[in-house]
């Protein structure tokens, strides 16, 4: 199987983290998100330890919580003692309600409203990642009104293309995020930030994109960022304490994706940082990284019940499931590939080619095409792997379909982290 926590038991059922997925589907109903909590914790520690070993002391990962946001994940990250990224007042509220220590949060976003800024300051967000000059001025003003000096990183665009999907590539000069180095505007922003009375500039941030398998794009970004650091230090005298290299390490969604050794990749980035800093004659700053999907994606799986199986003779086959774009919009958005397993008969020969269709009134509501499965029968359980990131957090109520619950699995127990959304929940705000 794709991962070592996925297997098949003596009943021919797919297992995940040692649990029989067909039994979980019976116990909690479908559609159902299940997550291997132990795997999330192990991956967090892998990042944390590698960053401590290969980067200067104080370097830590931040969980990019847009990948998977609910109270329980913030408690897990708090227990593992790593930082978090938040991108909206809703994420701030969720993290704060879960008791996350907010001084360890970084607030992102290309359009923080005055209300968002005030809310974040009131909730003691540790550091703003300032995206543009309008935000810088608004933040300086609001921080002044509240009588604080706010720590910030400036988000700059290193101007590189990591060869990933256009919608998840964010590091180029033309990106909607950040301030360009190439045009000289990033340097101007540093002067402005240093002039702001109520702002404490701590360093720089860049994020080049997602689903990156090699360390090379991070190496290139690091080289450009360090040159920028050297250049601005020469001109302004400002030496940053931190450099945030963003998130984006890839995840294995199918057999075609390589297995990725995050520790090794971090080691390689460390070597590039050391070499470049030596060449420029500067100290290596504290390094931050913001993994989202690589902390949670392969720790998640979605279970569905098969409904109709439609064979259009001479054309194609559809297998319909009791969920779809409402719980997993990623194929509709980016044509993201997935691995699908018939959980009820996971040992049987996969000799039926099918398109996996959701239940929404939309032809584009697909989980993917050309999957090879044993021919499923109505009522059987089907699993879509690697759905721990950007699934629950991107879920919607289109067609008034409730969001599935999230069940966590660990070596001791299975438990509900998020309840199934009921009809009453969906009507709660209707007058």
Ligand X SMILES: *Cc1c(COP(=O)(O)O)cnc(C)c1O
**Residues that bind ligand X in the complex, under the rule CB under 6 A:** 64, 66-67, 85, 108, 207, 210, 246-248, 290-294, 389
Which pair of structure tokens corresponds to residue 75?
């408690």
How many C-beta neighbours within 10 Å does residue 357 have?
A: 22
In the complex, the smallest distance separating the C-beta of residue 304 from ligand X, rounded to whole angstroms, is 24
Please identify, using beta-carbon distances, which residue of 235 and 264 lies nearer to ligand X.
264
Q: Which is nearer to ligand X, 16 or 47 (CB)?
A: 47
Which candidate, 244, 248, 246, places its Cα nearest to that of 204?
Answer: 244
**Integer Cα distance of 248 and 88 in angstroms:** 19
- Which tokens is 39 given? 């795997």
Nearer to ligand X, 148 or 394 (CB): 394
Q: Tokens 């209300």, residue?
A: 115
Closest contact distance (angstroms) between CB of 176 and ligand X is 11
The whole-angstrom separation of Cα 74 and Cα 174 is 33
Task: Compute the least distance from the CB of residue 292 to ligand X, in Å.
Answer: 3
CB of residue 81 to ligand X, shortest distance in Å: 19
Query: What DSSP element (H or E) covers 268?
Result: helix 262-280
Site of tokens 């104080």: 58
Residue 227 Cβ vs ligand X, minimum distance, rounded to whole Å: 21
Minimum separation from the CB atom of position 84 to ligand X (A): 11
> Quick check: helix, strand or coil at residue 132?
coil
What distance in Å separates the CA atoms of residue 344 and residue 340, rounded to the nearest whole number? Answer: 12
Q: How far is CA 305 from CA 35, 310, 344, 385, 415, in A?
A: 18, 15, 10, 15, 20
Q: How many CB atoms lie within 10 A of CB 70?
A: 16
Q: Closest-CB residue for ligand X?
A: 292
Query: What one-character DSSP code corresponds to residue 399?
Result: G
Least Å from the CB of residue 127 to ligand X: 13
Question: DSSP states of 365-378 as a string?
Answer: -EEEEEEEESPP-T
The residues facing 180 across adjacent strands are 157
- Residue 197 Cβ, how far from ligand X at the closest point, in Å? 27
Q: What is the C-alpha separation between 319 and 72, in angstroms, rounded?
A: 33
- 8 A C-beta contact, residue 196 and residue 260: no
- Full DSSP string of 308-334: EEEEETTTEEEEEES--TTT--HHHHH
Q: Please indicate whether residue 206 is annotated as part of the active site.
A: no
DSSP class per residue in 208-263: -BS-B-SSHHHHHHHHHHHHHHHHHHHHH----SEEE----B----STTSPP--HH
**C-beta closer to ligand X: residue 66 or 151:** 66
- Check 196, 202, 361, 427 and give the catalytic one: 361
186-202: burial string, b at 16+ Cβ within 10 Å, e else: bbebbebbeebebbebb
CA distance 212 to 249: 5
Q: Which is nearer to ligand X, 2 or 168 (CB)?
A: 168
Q: Which is nearer to ligand X, 216 or 231 (CB)?
A: 216
Least distance in angstroms from the C-beta of 37 to ligand X = 19
Active site residues: 361
């Amino acid at each position: 199987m794709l991962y070592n926590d996925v297997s098949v038991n003596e009943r021919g059922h797919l297992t995940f983290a040692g649990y029989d997925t067909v039994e979980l589907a019976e116990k909690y109903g479908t559609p159902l998100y299940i997550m291997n909590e132990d795997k999330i914790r192990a991956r967090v520690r892998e990042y944390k330890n590698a960053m401590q070993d290969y980067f200067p002391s104080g370097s830590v990962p931040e969980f990019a919580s847009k990948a998977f946001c609910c109270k329980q994940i913030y408690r897990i990250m708090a227990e593992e003692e790593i930082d978090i990224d938040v991108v909206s007042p809703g994420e701030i509220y969720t993290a704060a309600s879960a008791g996350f220590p907010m001084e360890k949060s970084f607030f992102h976003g290309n359009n923080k409203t005055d209300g968002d800024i005030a809310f974040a300051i009131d909730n003691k967000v540790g550091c703003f990642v300032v995206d543009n000059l309008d935000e810088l001025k608004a933040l300086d003003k609001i921080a002044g009104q509240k009588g604080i000096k706010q720590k910030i990183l400036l988000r700059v665009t290193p101007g590189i293309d990591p060869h990933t999907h256009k919608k998840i590539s964010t590091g180029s000069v033309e990106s909607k995020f950040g301030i360009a180095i190439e045009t000289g505007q990033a340097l101007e922003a540093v002067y402005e930030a240093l002039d702001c009375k109520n702002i404490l500039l701590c360093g720089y941030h860049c994020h080049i994109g997602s689903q990156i398998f090699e360390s090379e794009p991070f190496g290139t970004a690091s080289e450009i960022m360090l040159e920028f650091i050297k250049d601005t230090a020469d001109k302004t005298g400002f030496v940053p304490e931190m450099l945030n290299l963003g998130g984006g390490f890839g995840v294995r969604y199918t057999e075609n994706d390589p297995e990725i050794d995050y520790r090794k990749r971090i080691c390689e980035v460390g070597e590039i940082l050391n070499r470049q800093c030596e060449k420029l004659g500067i100290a290596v700053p504290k390094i931050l990284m913001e993994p989202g999907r690589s902390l949670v994606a392969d720790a998640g799986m979605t279970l569905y019940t098969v409904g109709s199986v439609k064979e259009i003779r001479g054309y194609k086959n559809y297998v319909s499931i009791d969920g779809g774009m409402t719980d997993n919009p990623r194929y509709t958005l980016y044509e993201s590939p997935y691995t699908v397993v018939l959980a009820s008969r996971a040992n049987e020969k996969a000799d039926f080619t099918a398109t996996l269709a959701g239940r929404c009134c939309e032809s584009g509501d697909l989980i993917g095409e050309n999957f090879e499965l044993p021919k499923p029968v109505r009522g059987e359980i089907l699993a879509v792997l690697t759905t721990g990131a950007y699934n629950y957090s991107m879920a919607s109520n289109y067609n008034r379909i409730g969001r599935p619950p999230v069940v966590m699995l660990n070596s001791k127990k299975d438990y509900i982290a998020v309840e199934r959304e009921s009809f009453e929940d969906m009507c709660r705000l209707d007058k």
